[in-house]
């Protein structure tokens, strides 16, 4: 819990939210140091201080794997020998880039995902400072390299399908292009970097430039408003806005949650929503953009959707413990068709939930492949300013598939498109509704 | 099974939700030849004596314990209360930060739990056996009724203190290892396995800060390691034979419904 994939939390395991918007680690790195590091050309000789920082970074990376990898011999390797092999290479490195390359090579020996080092400059792009809780009353996602409005609570001002071109005078396209070309940056991290730029202090006014349906440029001064939902924390995790929505789409229930947090409230509302839907044609659970949270909530929610004892979503393997994600069926469990919507930003607990229900044959999955980030992982700042991500557990879905690095592949792959959004349609929801309708007709 | 084990096992599920992998810690081993070790029966009887004597235990019929719990890795804190009564009734309630309220109990042969995640649940199999053993009142004093076999298997240090290592095999549930101070005779550590639908989780509990409550010496602080997770529990108050509401041990309605359904 734990660890942060959780925003700003340092060591949680069961909280698996992927990208910290602002880690505590960054606070301990002085801005001056970053400026100095960034000011040096890549080929410049390292100062003694920089060399020491790189060595300290190497030790931090090596120790994290040694102490926290779920296998005592990570990937079957003698990690002590790895230290002997790589430390001299870091000592001999003549630049931070070279030292980083050595550390990346060391991590590469694991042949496992979610072990990555982000250069300080990229890390800053991923983790912009100054973000606040305010949001612009619309959501935007990267579709085909463009930041497109996918939901708008201010349709008179900002419409579905518009492209967001600039925020505060800064073009988004270069940021998106830069992050998309870095193989270490996953879709989830890209989306969160974009979302961070859309956010800011509540009440702040953000000038934004859009392209409308005809690609005409439109400027709007968007006032950032308080986020949807209730703020909820978890242990060391600072409060996060947790949004839960339940509504009917015709005779189909629709549930959406942005995080698996605020456990008591969300579990209660989820149970209430399922019970109200006892006679629905189907149930849609929308986990798009949901980066995860408390792993146990996936088990609890699944309990409202299965009526057989002895089932589980999967198994998590950690150092010293193996945990089954067992499902306790509720007496009032829903028995009708269930569609789960996912995308590349659905991570961790979302993947455990969607992947497990898919493996059990209990839900049909719609959308795009998930983030493949099912493991609790940490993103910390290294002494040299780079970002370091490492996983601390392995998770195998009930079907025998490791979600990490693979993700959940939808039964029905369908993406949002700008054209459909401009026409007022969510093509993923439409596909799920169509399937539920056919299920009803086939009876 | 110690009070702390009972509480620790109660929190197994909640804690697992917030578990944090850590490195396993090796125990220093200083095994002696078996013939030099005292009999386990002697060690267990000595514990009863140094903690008040059997008579002190047996004069009580029910108890209430209150305390606090800390999950240091995630910075979560909570409160707990546990009631138990002879011969084998138990009810525990844990309020652990954002995980909400988790209740469990054993009464009328039914072991159960209820929390915000899983909802109500009746325990079966090894899990039920474990709960039933945890519910036995004065189990430490009446250890001969609880354990089918006890054996001294070695010596080991616990936090620098020499201990006898005793393996106890209960009539119900899984065996465990207990570590008794050679010097004081007090129990300093247990190692067992918590059983839950999430699997079997190794549990190590180190106890300390023994204090006397109504003639019985009780450890009031524990540090537990459950697989990857650490817990700290502090008993803040303990009372014996104070009036408690009889319905406290009654099965909650939804548990009774589940138990009745399972019995059909």
What is the reported pLDDT for A45?
56
CB contact under 8 A, A331 and B258: yes
DSSP secondary structure letter of residue B159: T
Interface check for B102 against chain A (CB to CB < 8 A): the answer is no
In terms of domains, do A198 and A246 share one? no
Q: Is the pLDDT of residue B221 over 80?
A: yes
Of A294, A318, A322, the CB nearest to B17: A294
**How far is residue A259's CA from residue A288's CA, in Å, rounded to a whole number?**
10
Average pLDDT (B111-129) is: 92
Write out the residue range of the structural domain in which residue A6 sits.
Answer: 1-118+239-443
Q: In this structure, is residue A65 part of a structural domain?
A: yes
In terms of domains, do A315 and A406 share one? yes
Q: In this structure, is residue A125 part of a structural domain?
A: no
Q: What is the DSSP string of B241-255?
A: S----GGGGSPPHHH
Q: How distant is the Cα of B162 from the closest Cα of chain A, in angstroms?
A: 26
In terms of domains, do A292 and A409 share one? yes
List chain A residues with CB under 8 Å of B70. none
What is the reported pLDDT for A48?
83
Q: Confirm if B226 and B232 have CB atoms less than 8 A apart.
A: no
- Pull the structure tokens for residue A419: 């054209």
CB contact under 8 A, B98 and A3: no
Q: How confident is the model at residue A53 (pLDDT cuts 50, 70, 90)?
A: very high
In terms of domains, do A343 and A437 share one? yes
In terms of domains, do A45 and A154 share one? no
Q: Is the pLDDT of residue A4 over 50?
A: no
Q: Pairing mode, if any, of strands B110-115 and B101-107?
A: antiparallel
Q: How many domains does chain A have?
A: 2
Q: What is the Cβ-side half-sphere exposure of residue B132, based on CA atoms within 13 angstroms?
A: 18
**How far is residue A174's CA from residue A197's CA, in Å, rounded to a whole number?**
13
| For A268, nearest residue in chain B (alpha carbons) | B116
CB contact under 8 A, A323 and B19: yes
What is the reported pLDDT for A49?
87
Average pLDDT (B79-83) is: 96
Q: In this structure, is residue A384 part of a structural domain?
A: yes
From A223, A258, A287, give the residue that closes a domain. A223
Q: Is the pLDDT of residue A92 over 70?
A: yes
Q: In this structure, is residue A7 part of a structural domain?
A: yes
Interface check for B17 against chain A (CB to CB < 8 A): the answer is yes
Average pLDDT (B128-143) is: 90
Q: What is the pLDDT of residues A346-384, one digit of tens each?
A: 988 999 999 999 999 999 999 999 988 777 766 678 999
Q: Is the pLDDT of residue A176 over 70?
A: yes
B144 vs A234 pLDDT, higher one = B144
We report the CATH number of the domain holding residue A172 as 2.30.42.10
- Taken in order of first residue, the domains within chain B and their CATH numbers are 3-263 (2.50.20.10)
In terms of domains, do A101 and A147 share one? no
Of A1, A262, A318, the CB nearest to B18: A1
Average pLDDT (B117-132) is: 90
What is the reported pLDDT for A125?
57
B15 vs A215 pLDDT, higher one = A215
Average pLDDT (A415-441) is: 96
Q: Find which of B73, B77, B96, B258 to mutate to test the A interface (most A CBs within 10 Å of its CB).
A: B73
Return mean pLDDT, chain A.
85
List chain A residues with CB under 8 Å of B229. 321
What is the reported pLDDT for A114?
74
Q: In this structure, is residue A129 part of a structural domain?
A: no
Among residues of chain B, what percentage have pLDDT more than 70? 86
What is the reported pLDDT for B32?
58
Q: Confirm if B147 and B167 have CB atoms less than 8 A apart.
A: no
Q: What is the pLDDT of residues B84-108, one digit of tens each?
A: 999 999 999 999 888 899 999 999 9
Among residues of chain A, what percentage have pLDDT more than 70? 85
Q: Confirm if A266 and A242 have CB atoms less than 8 A apart.
A: yes
Q: How confident is the model at residue A16 (pLDDT cuts 50, 70, 90)?
A: very low
Q: Is the pLDDT of residue A192 over 90?
A: no
In terms of domains, do A167 and A219 share one? yes
Q: How confident is the model at residue A29 (pLDDT cuts 50, 70, 90)?
A: very low
| For B118, nearest residue in chain A (alpha carbons) | A300
Q: In this structure, is residue A429 part of a structural domain?
A: yes
What is the reported pLDDT for A122?
63
Inter-CA distances, B50 with B44, B142, B168, B219, B222, Å: 10, 15, 19, 12, 19
In terms of domains, do A301 and A175 share one? no
Angle between helix A187-198 and A172-181 (nearest 10): 160
| For A71, nearest residue in chain B (alpha carbons) | B23
Q: In this structure, is residue A315 part of a structural domain?
A: yes
CB contact under 8 A, B198 and A324: yes
Q: Pairing mode, if any, of strands A338-342 and A364-367?
A: parallel
Q: Pairing mode, if any, of strands A321-326 and A312-318?
A: antiparallel
Q: Pairing mode, if any, of strands B89-96 and B119-122?
A: unpaired
In terms of domains, do A159 and A268 share one? no
Q: What is the pLDDT of residues B169-212, one digit of tens each?
A: 998 778 999 999 999 999 999 999 888 888 888 899 999 999 99
- Pull the structure tokens for residue A438: 């056919």
Q: What is the pLDDT of residues A94-109, one digit of tens each?
A: 999 999 999 999 999 9
ipTM above 0.90, yes or no: no
Q: How distant is the Cα of A266 from the closest Cα of chain B, in angstroms?
A: 10
What is the reported pLDDT for B24?
26
CB contact under 8 A, A235 and B75: yes
Angle between helix A96-108 and A79-92 (nearest 10): 160
What is the reported pLDDT for B59?
93
Average pLDDT (A225-253) is: 89
**How far is residue A249's CA from residue A387's CA, in Å, rounded to a whole number?**
43
In terms of domains, do A311 and A255 share one? yes
From A192, A223, A254, give the residue that closes a domain. A223
Q: Is the pLDDT of residue B16 over 60?
A: no
Q: Is the pLDDT of residue B259 over 60?
A: yes
Q: How confident is the model at residue A19 (pLDDT cuts 50, 70, 90)?
A: very low
**How far is residue A245's CA from residue A229's CA, in Å, rounded to a whole number?**
9
Q: Label each residue of chain A as H, E or C.
A: CCCCCCCCCCCCCCECCCCCCCCHHHHCCCHHHHHHHHHCCCCCCCCHHHHHHHHHHHHHHHHHHHHHCCCCCHHHCCHHHHHHHHHHHHHHCCCHHHHHHHHHHHHHCCCCCCCEEECHHHHHHHCCCCCCCEECCEEEEEECCEEEEEEECCCCCCCCCCEEEEECCEEHHHHHHHHHHCCCCCHHHHHHHHHHHHCECCCCEEEEEEECCCCCEEEEEEECECCCCEEEEECCEEEEEECEEEEEECCEEEEEECCECCHHHHHHHHHHHHHHCCCCCEEEEECCCCCCEEHHHHHHHHCCCCCCCCCEEEEEEECCEEEEEECCCCCCCCCCCEEEEECCCCCCHHHHHHHHHHHCCCCEEEECCCCCCCCCEEEEECCCCCEEEEECEEEEECCCCECCCCCCCCCEECCCCHHHHHCCCCHHHHHHHHHHHHHHHCC
Contact partners, residue A398, CB within 8 Å, separation at least 6 = A311, A312, A313, A314, A315, A355, A356, A359, A360
Q: In this structure, is residue A127 part of a structural domain?
A: no
List chain A residues with CB under 8 Å of B24. 319-320
**How far is residue B166's CA from residue B209's CA, in Å, rounded to a whole number?**
21
- Pull the structure tokens for residue B24: 């396993």
Q: Is the pLDDT of residue A337 over 70?
A: yes
Question: B41-61 b/e with 16+ CB inside 10 Å = b?
Answer: eebbbbbbebbbeeebbeebe
Q: Is the pLDDT of residue B10 over 60?
A: no
CB contact under 8 A, B19 and A13: yes
We report the CATH number of the domain holding residue A348 as 3.90.226.10
What is the reported pLDDT for B214?
92
**How far is residue A238's CA from residue A227's CA, in Å, rounded to a whole number?**
15
Q: Is the pLDDT of residue B77 over 50?
A: yes
Average pLDDT (B249-257) is: 93
What is the reported pLDDT for B98?
85
Average pLDDT (A140-146) is: 94
What is the reported pLDDT for B157?
96
Please state the pTM of the whole predicted model.
Answer: 0.81
In terms of domains, do A209 and A248 share one? no
| For A328, nearest residue in chain B (alpha carbons) | B118
Question: B82-99 b/e with 16+ CB inside 10 Å = b?
Answer: bbbbeebbbbbbbbbbbb
Q: What is the pLDDT of residues B27-72, one digit of tens each?
A: 444 455 666 799 999 999 999 999 999 999 999 999 999 999 998 8
A25 vs B32 pLDDT, higher one = B32
From A198, A223, A248, give the residue that closes a domain. A223
In terms of domains, do A351 and A408 share one? yes
Q: How distant is the Cα of A247 from the closest Cα of chain B, in angstroms?
A: 22
CB contact under 8 A, A323 and B18: no
Contacts 24+ apart (CB under 8 A), B123-126: B125/B195, B126/B173, B126/B174, B126/B195
What is the reported pLDDT for B47?
97
Average pLDDT (A422-426) is: 96
Q: Which range in A231-245, A368-382, B227-241 is most confidently predicted, on average pLDDT?
A: B227-241
Calculate ∠ Cα A142-A144-A146, nearest 5°: 50
- Is the four-CA dihedral A26, A257, A264, A294 of positive or negative sign? negative
**How far is residue A240's CA from residue A291's CA, in Å, rounded to a whole number?**
12
Interface check for B117 against chain A (CB to CB < 8 A): the answer is yes
What is the reported pLDDT for B240?
93
What is the reported pLDDT for A251?
97
Q: Is the pLDDT of residue B133 over 60?
A: yes
């Amino acid at each position: 819990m734990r660890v942060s994939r959780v925003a700003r939390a340092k060591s949680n395991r069961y909280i698996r939210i992927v990208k910290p918007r602002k880690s505590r680690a960054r606070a301990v790195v002085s801005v001056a140091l970053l400026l100095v590091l960034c000011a040096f050309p890549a080929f410049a000789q390292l100062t003694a201080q920089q060399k020491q920082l790189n060595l300290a970074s190497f030790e931090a990376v090596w120790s994290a794997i040694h102490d926290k990898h779920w296998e005592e011999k990570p990937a079957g390797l003698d990690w002590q020998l790895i230290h002997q092999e790589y430390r001299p290479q870091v000592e001999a490195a003549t630049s931070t880039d070279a030292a980083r390359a050595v550390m990346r090579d060391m991590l590469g020996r694991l042949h496992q995902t979610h072990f990555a080092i982000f250069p300080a400059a990229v890390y800053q792009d991923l983790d912009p400072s100054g973000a606040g809780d305010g949001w612009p009353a619309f959501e935007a996602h990267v579709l085909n390299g463009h930041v497109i409005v996918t939901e708008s609570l201010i349709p008179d001002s900002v419409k579905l399908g518009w492209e967001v071109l600039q925020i505060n005078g800064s073009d988004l396209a270069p940021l998106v292009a830069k992050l998309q070309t870095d193989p270490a940056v996953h879709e989830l991290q890209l989306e969160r970097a974009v979302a961070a730029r859309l956010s800011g202090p509540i009440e702040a006014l953000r000038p934004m430039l859009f392209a409308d349906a005809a690609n005409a440029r439109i400027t709007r001064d968007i006032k950032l408003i308080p986020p949807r939902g209730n703020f909820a924390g978890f242990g060391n995790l600072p409060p996060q806005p947790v949004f839960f929505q339940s509504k009917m789409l015709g005779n189909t229930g629709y549930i959406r949650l942005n995080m698996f947090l605020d456990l008591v409230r969300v579990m209660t509302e989820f149970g209430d929503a399922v019970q109200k839907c006892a006679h629905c044609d189907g149930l849609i659970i929308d986990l798009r953009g949901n980066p995860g949270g408390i792993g146990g909530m996936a088990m609890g929610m699944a309990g409202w959707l299965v009526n057989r004892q002895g089932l589980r979503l999967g198994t998590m393997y950690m150092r010293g413990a193996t945990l089954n994600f067992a499902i306790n069926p509720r007496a009032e469990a829903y028995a009708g068709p269930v569609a789960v919507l996912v995308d590349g930003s659905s991570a961790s607990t979302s993947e455990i939930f969607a992947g497990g229900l898919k493996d059990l044959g209990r839900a049909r999955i719609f959308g795009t492949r998930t983030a493949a980030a099912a493991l609790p992982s940490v993103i910390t700042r290294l002494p040299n300013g780079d970002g370091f991500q490492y996983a601390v557990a392995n998770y195998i879905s009930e079907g025998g598939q490791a979600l990490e690095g693979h993700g959940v592949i939808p039964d029905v792959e369908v993406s949002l498109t700008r054209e459909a959004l401009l026409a007022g349609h969510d093509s993923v929801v439409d596909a799920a509704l169509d399937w539920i309708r056919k299920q009803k007709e086939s009876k | 099974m110690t009070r702390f084990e009972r509480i620790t096992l109660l929190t197994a599920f909640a804690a697992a939700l917030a578990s944090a992998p850590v490195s396993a810690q090796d125990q220093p081993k200083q095994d002696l030849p078996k013939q030099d070790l005292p009999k386990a029966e002697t060690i267990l009887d000595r514990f009863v004596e140094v903690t008040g004597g059997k008579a002190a235990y047996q004069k009580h019929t029910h108890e209430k314990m209150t305390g606090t719990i800390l999950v240091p890795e995630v910075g979560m804190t909570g409160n707990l209360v546990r009631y138990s009564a002879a011969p084998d009734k138990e009810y525990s309630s844990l309020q652990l930060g954002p995980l909400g309220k988790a209740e469990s109990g054993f009464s009328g042969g039914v072991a159960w739990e209820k929390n915000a995640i899983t909802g109500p649940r009746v325990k079966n199999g090894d899990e039920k056996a474990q709960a039933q053993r945890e519910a036995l009142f004065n189990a430490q004093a009446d250890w001969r009724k609880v354990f089918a076999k006890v054996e001294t298997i070695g010596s080991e240090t616990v936090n620098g203190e020499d201990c006898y290592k005793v393996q106890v095999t209960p009539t119900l549930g899984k065996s465990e290892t207990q570590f008794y101070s050679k010097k004081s005779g007090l129990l300093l550590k247990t190692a067992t396995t918590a059983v839950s639908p999430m699997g079997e989780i190794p549990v190590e509990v180190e106890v300390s800060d023994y204090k006397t409550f109504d003639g019985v010496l009780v450890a009031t602080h524990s540090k537990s390691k459950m697989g990857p997770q650490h817990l700290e529990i502090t008993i803040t108050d303990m009372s014996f034979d104070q009036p408690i509401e009889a319905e406290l041990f009654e099965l909650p309605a939804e548990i009774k419904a589940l138990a009745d359904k399972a019995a059909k």
